[in-house]
Amino acid sequence: MILPRPTWPKASWGWPSGTTVRGQLTCDPESADYMPLLVINGREVSWDQFGRILMTLEGWRVHLQIQDPSEEV
């Protein structure tokens, strides 16, 4: 069974091609498994939501950089 590709309105997340997305990694207090929660553009994004959003960009290259919170981004 092939599931349909999820569709998310990219414009609502503000992720046009070539743009850097910045956010903060925190914990989802409502998650029983202590899952990560991202805050991107001021919006809380669960790990599951983030994965689904990334799947709309399937085939694109990604650069993930994690920095010390005391460093300026």
Residues in contact with 36: Cβ distance below 8 Å, sequence separation at least 6, in sequence order: 25, 26, 27, 28, 47
User: Domain residues of the chain, as ranges?
Assistant: 22-62
Whole-model pTM above 0.75? no
Instruction: Average pLDDT across each block of 10 residues of the chain; the chain has 73 residues. List them in order.
Output: 52 60 86 86 86 81 84 67
Pinpoint the alpha helices (H) of 1-73. 10-13, 47-55
Cβ–Cβ under 8 Å, residues 44 and 26: no
The amino acid occupying position 45 is V
For residue 11, the model assigns a pLDDT of: 46
